[in-house]
Structure 1
Amino acid sequence: MVASLAASTLASHRRQLGGHTAARKLDGAALLTAGFAEGSGGSGGFGGSEPGIAGSDAADADGLDLVGARADALLGLAADNLALGRIDAARRLAVRAARVDRRWRAAVRCGWVAAEIELADGQAAAAVAPARRALEIARARGARRHAVKSAIVLGVALSAAGEPGALDLVVTAVEETEKYELHSLSWVATRVAADLDAGHAEEYRFRSQQVLHPVLQQADPCVMQIARASPWVPAEAG
């Protein structure tokens, strides 16, 4: 279980910087490990009946257990496939993840991925509901980091759908990342804010570079290579 969660975490680091091909290998390894770990009930990661949230596989309320590891891996694979243009595959994986684990953490992450799938599919209006639901769940749970990321996702969805409230959500998210030193979200929030607030765009972009540079300086060589090649990462931050 720990090995699976570790692989999913490494995949997330690579995916955030645009390294989806590298992330997909790690997410696949995470699913393979979780599927064949002790206590999986023999269902495996790729076939058989889904374990749901019952039994010894789902022992932690926050999803830091074998079932949660499976859901993390499936959602990671969904995000990887989405970025690589495989929208149908991403949908199937996201649906499977939602069936595997219905606890709050997986539900929030399912909301993020569902919103991203709709945005990628050109269905901006359909992205709003899962993003909003993710934010509601995260806030109700008091999960600060999940709430901040949910606000960013919802802000993007609202903006794409032409609905009000996007800028306020994202600016508040920027403030929260600064207050609580959520650096891995701060550079993303400021980049989104730059897109939404033309009057302060340069200020937000500069702050994004300020935050990301020291983060990358502490990254492993693989992440540095991905960052240098990524169209998402400001060149000055590498």
Structure 2
Amino acid sequence: MDDEAFGSNPGAWPLPGAATPEDLWLRAVAAAGQGRYACAHSDLDALMRSRPDGRLGSLAQSTRASFLRQLGWHDRARPLDGAAWARSGGTGEAGADALIGLAADALGVGRFAASQRALERAAELVAASPCARLPIRLAWVSAELAMARGEGTALAHAERAVHLADAAASVRHRVKSRVVLAAAHCAAGDLDAARREGDRALAETGEHGLVPLRWAVASLLVGIGSAEYSPAQVTDIRDVCAETVIRRGGVWRSR
């Protein structure tokens, strides 16, 4: 399941069966990357019924919170990330994931100072962890916070995410890093670079079946235009992705 959740095959479907609680978590991560939220929640429900240890229980809560954020429910994600932090014991991979999630939750509701504090605390745990995805996630949220604040550091954070992701195994993390970079270029006023990165990400999300990320980058390109696709094509891609997420169990906040 590592290859589907954090490797080279994020679009695989159907997913392999789960032999362990860890497999249930990995299945949920992989399914959500495809926008299959009903399947992902089902696997997390089964995981929690197995009475997981603190780390895995924390990761399950953080993962469920990430689903809510992807659909616009940052306020509902926060209690889950708080529960994840409590379960983590404030250490390791799970603790870092929970703090990064709390930073993203705060950012999503405009609590920028709280987001910055959570990122600073997370950075200490990330630096002490061998988990390759954590520095990438930290760079994503750091870039997003800088964009929200109108700070010029957003592009540097996004470029760091791309650099780290290019050296990692996860296709999904590489593609999302391109989406964040496109947004950072847009925020910096370089629309040609934003279109270039956005068009690349749009193609890659389609190739790998990453429906939520495809919706996100199409939404960006609807606003700034695409060098490769017509306005009608980009709008259609965005709308088809939104409907696909609904069919697969997602509930958009804006709908």
- Which letter does structure 2 place at the counterpart of 1:10? R
Equivalent in 214, 217, 220 of residue 186 of structure 1 = 214
Q: Which runs of 5+ in 1 are unaligned?
A: 36-44, 46-50, 52-66
Match of 2:64 in 1: 10
1:196 deviates by 2.0
Equivalent in 103, 110, 115 of residue 143 of structure 2 = 115
Match of 2:28 in 1: none
Match of 1:74 in 2: 99
Match of 1:30 in 2: 84
Matched residue SS, 2:150 = coil
**Distance in 2 between the 1:205 and 1:72 partners?**
33
**Which stretch shifts more, 178-187 or 191-200?**
191-200
**Distance in 2 between the 1:121 and 1:135 partners?**
21
Equivalent in 158, 161, 164 of residue 185 of structure 2 = 158
Q: How does 1:1-238 map to 2 (within 5 A)?
A: 1-35=55-89, 45=90, 51=91, 67-102=92-127, 103=130, 104-123=132-151, 125-163=152-190, 164-197=192-225, 200-219=230-249, 223-224=250-251, 227=252, 229-230=253-254, 235=255
**Distance in 1 between the 2:123 and 2:235 partners?**
35
User: Which aligned runs of 4 or more in structure 1 are off by greater than 4 angstroms?
Assistant: none
Higher relative contact order (CA 8 A, sep 6+): 2
**Distance in 2 between the 1:205 and 1:134 partners?**
27
- Which letter does structure 1 place at the counterpart of 2:244? P
Cα root mean square deviation, aligned: 1.6
What is the CA deviation profile of residues 133-180 of structure 1, one whole-angstrom value per residue up to 9, with x for unaligned ones?
000110111321101111111111111112351111110101001111
**Distance in 1 between the 2:230 and 2:187 partners?**
20
Matched residue SS, 1:141 = coil
**Distance in 2 between the 1:116 and 1:19 partners?**
16
1:208 deviates by 1.4
**Which stretch shifts more, 110-119 or 160-169?**
160-169
What is the CA deviation profile of residues 54-79 of structure 1, one whole-angstrom value per residue up to 9, with x for unaligned ones?
xxxxxxxxxxxxx1111111011001
Residues paired across the two proteins, number:
195
Q: Which runs of 5+ in 2 are unaligned?
A: 1-54
Matched residue SS, 1:142 = coil
**Which stretch shifts more, 199-208 or 6-15?**
199-208
**Distance in 2 between the 1:210 and 1:135 partners?**
27
**Distance in 2 between the 1:100 and 1:145 partners?**
23
Superposition TM-score, scaled by structure 1 size: 0.77
Superposition TM-score, scaled by structure 2 size: 0.72
Matched residue SS, 2:204 = helix
**Distance in 1 between the 2:60 and 2:233 partners?**
35
Matched residue SS, 2:110 = coil
1:2 deviates by 1.3
**Distance in 2 between the 1:171 and 1:200 partners?**
11
What is the CA deviation profile of residues 72-130 of structure 1, one whole-angstrom value per residue up to 9, with x for unaligned ones?
1101100111111110110010111111023431110011010111111111x210001
Indicate the percent of aligned positions where both proteins have the same amino acid. 38
